[in-house]
Amino acid sequence: EEYLVESGGGLVQPGGSLRLSCAASGFSFNNFWMGWVRQAPGKGLEWVANINQDENEKHYVDSVRGRFTISRDNTRNSVLLQMNSLRAEDTAVYFCVRRNRVVLWSRLDVWGQGTTVTVSS
Amino acid sequence: DVQLTQSPSFLSASVGDRVTITCRASQAIDNFLAWFQQKPGEPPKLLIYAASTLQSGVPSRFSGSGSGTDFSLTISSLQPEDFATYSCQQDHVYPWTFGPGTKVEIK
């Protein structure tokens, strides 16, 4: 079975940094795009970032561009999200997701359980 | 950015009811739309992608339709396990965006 397990969440002060990790298992990790989606408390889902198999294509939502960096390690089947200059509005559960491309279409078909990031003084 | 609006935002229904949720995009997105189901404390679960393609393992009572700017998710006969929040998501253009969600509760 296919799994994604996130780690690295926690409490951090505004302006601080945090690094989220996502460990994948049960599928050929280096064949898939990966990404992150977040959900603030009591709010809807927000796509954060995507990365392709070779790390030569990355996309970010405007609110995190320049502060967050997505990367991956295909030897360790992991995807990372380095989060710098954190703000209160970054407080959320962060989900690691697999992007499965089917011809032209994408589907976010595997999700981790999420890791909680709280930005507060 | 493509804004997605959903209606209704809240829906009260009974087991066995036919339920339809709509999602409208602020610009045409062809059929690059997915639907997710989320229960409290759980990650979202993919139901439909490419507007109308049922994800493997999802019951056939779920169906999706639409293209361009107007889409819908229909549950043909609501089951107890279907009470949840449903969200649409577009992957036609970056940034990918989600709708605000529709909460389906038991009447």
| Residue recorded with tokens 């107007």 | B70
Distance, in Å, from the CA atom of A21 to the CA atom of A7, rounded to the nearest integer, reads 5
What chain A residue is nearest to B46 in terms of C-alpha separation?
A: A109
| Angle, CA of A84, A87 and A89, to the nearest 5° | 130
The pLDDT of residue B82 is 97
The pLDDT of residue A104 is 83
The pLDDT of residue A119 is 98
Assess contact for B71 and B23: CB atoms under 8 A: yes
The pLDDT of residue A105 is 87
B34 touches chain A (CB under 8 A): yes
Distance, in Å, from the CA atom of A106 to the CA atom of A85, rounded to the nearest integer, reads 31
Q: B25-40, pLDDT tens digit by residue?
A: 999 999 999 999 999 9
The pLDDT of residue B79 is 96
Distance, in Å, from the CA atom of B102 to the CA atom of A6, rounded to the nearest integer, reads 27
Q: A89-103, pLDDT tens digit by residue?
A: 999 999 999 999 878
Cβ-based contacts of A106 with chain B (< 8 Å): 32, 49, 91
The pLDDT of residue A50 is 97
The pLDDT of residue A26 is 98
For residue A77 the two structure tokens come to 């089947």
A46 touches chain B (CB under 8 A): yes
Distance, in Å, from the CA atom of B1 to the CA atom of A63, rounded to the nearest integer, reads 12
Assess contact for A97 and A37: CB atoms under 8 A: yes
Residue from A38, A53, A45, A26 nearest A96 by CA: A38
Please state the separation of Cα A39 from the chain's center in Å: 11
For residue A108 the two structure tokens come to 């976010």
The pLDDT of residue B53 is 96
For every residue of B49-99, DSSP letters joined together read ETTTEEPTT--TTEEEEEETTEEEEEESS--GGG-SEEEEEE-SSSSPEE-
The pLDDT of residue A102 is 79
A27 touches chain B (CB under 8 A): no
For residue A10 the two structure tokens come to 């926690």
Distance, in Å, from the CA atom of B88 to the CA atom of B107, rounded to the nearest integer, reads 23
Distance, in Å, from the CA atom of B27 to the CA atom of A115, rounded to the nearest integer, reads 33
Q: Which residue numbers in chain A have pLDDT < 70? A: none
Q: Which residue numbers in chain B have pLDDT < 50? A: none
A58 touches chain B (CB under 8 A): no
Cβ-based contacts of A96 with chain B (< 8 Å): none
Could B100 and A44 be called an inter-chain contact, meaning their C-beta atoms sit closer than 8 Å?
yes
